[in-house]
Each structure stands twice: as C-alpha cells, then as structure tokens.
Amino acid sequence: MKEMGLDENKWIYVKDYFPVPLWRQPTMEKSPSDYSFYLIDPKMIEYKQTRSAWIPIMDDMAHYQHDPDNPTVGQVAIISRRIGKSLGISDGDEIYVESINPLTGEVRRVKVRDSLAEYVRPDCVLMFHHLGDWAGTKREPSPNMLCFASEGFVAMTQDQSFQVKVKIYKA
C-alpha cells in the first residue's frame, strides 16, 4: 500500500481487506476504563432477524417475558447479580447504559430497567436487540441505539459485528 502511495493515516478504510488473517485490536478496547462492560445483544428464539419484530402480539409476548407482572416495562438490561450488588443496583432498578465512541468522543445512553441474573458474565451487559426503535410499538430503547456504524466499528466486509463497551449506573 505504501508503494502505491496510500497515506498510512487513511488505511482505516482498507485495513480490514487483507489476503491473510490479521489481528487488530477492536476499536471498543480504546474506550476509557470506566466503560468496562461488553454490550451483548443476544437473539430471542421467537424472532427472525427484524421480520417478526413488527408483529404486535409477539412484541406483547416478549414484554411479558421480561416482566409478567408489568408487561409494559419495556427493554431490560440483564447484569450479573454480584456486579449489581457491588454497584448498589437492585433487581428492577432504573439504570443508564452508556456507550462511547473512543475515536470521536460521542456518548450515547439509554435508560432501562435492570434484571439481575446469575448466568451473565460479570464483565457483560445483556440487552435484546429485537425490541425498541425498530419494533412496531416503539415503546422502549434498544441496544441498537448504543452502537456506532462508523470508522473503526464496521468492517469493509459489512459483517455487522457492532462491538461497544458500556458503563452502567443508577438513574
């Protein structure tokens, strides 16, 4: 690339296109140290990509799964019970989940209820990506709002592996 005259500072656009595997530290790892949790957005088995997110009865069922006593609760962030306790967060509290783009300094955050669980790794926050901004009812935030589709976050292959680190704190 140097021989072709390509400026090394502009390699960000082509560095993911390489004929052999090449390790590069994910952009999210450049986040400030207080952004210490990995945002994980798993798939709910009822949903097929974004196709079924528009079916109102499925949206209602998904909300019921989050909180059977209050099906309008909306999106939840599931965190480790041990981490919640160490941060003074109780099950069902309102919390902020905040991400940062370490290249630009842009900060995004959503306010959600938390759910404490034993099965979540202590360094992760789990939020389902099916619900929220793109669902038919639009009644809660989505982890999609915390992801960045810009330099350093989306590969040339368009593999859609959005990776961000977040911090959580009580609302």
Domain count, the chain: 1
Is the entire prediction scored with pTM above 0.85? Answer: no
Supply the DSSP string of 105-121, one letter for each residue.
--EEEEEEEEEEESSS-
Q: What is the pLDDT of residue 161?
A: 60
Evaluate whether residue 11 is within a structural domain.
no
Evaluate whether residue 2 is within a structural domain.
no
- Terminal-to-terminal C-alpha distance of the chain: 49
Tell me how far apart the alpha carbons of residues 83 and 89 are, in angstroms, rounded to a whole number: 8
Q: What is the pLDDT of residue 133?
A: 46
Supply the DSSP string of 23-91, one letter for each residue.
----GGGGS-TT--EEEE-PPPTT--TTGGGG-HHHHHHHHHHH-TT-TT---EEEEEHHHHHHTTPPT
CATH number at 95 reads 2.40.40.20
Evaluate whether residue 13 is within a structural domain.
no
Q: What is the pLDDT of residue 41?
A: 82
Evaluate whether residue 116 is within a structural domain.
yes
Q: What is the pLDDT of residue 11?
A: 63
Could you list the residue range(s) of the whole structural domain that residue 84 is in?
31-170
Evaluate whether residue 15 is within a structural domain.
no
Q: What is the pLDDT of residue 96?
A: 95
Evaluate whether residue 61 is within a structural domain.
yes
Tell me how far apart the alpha carbons of residues 52 and 128 are, in angstroms, rounded to a whole number: 14
Evaluate whether residue 26 is within a structural domain.
no
Contact 144, 132 (CB under 8 A): yes
Instruction: Please give the chain's pLDDT, 171 residues, in tens.
Output: 677 777 766 666 566 666 777 777 888 999 999 999 999 888 777 666 666 666 767 666 665 555 555 544 567 889 999 999 999 999 989 999 999 999 899 999 999 888 899 999 999 999 876 654 444 455 567 787 888 877 777 655 555 566 899 999 999
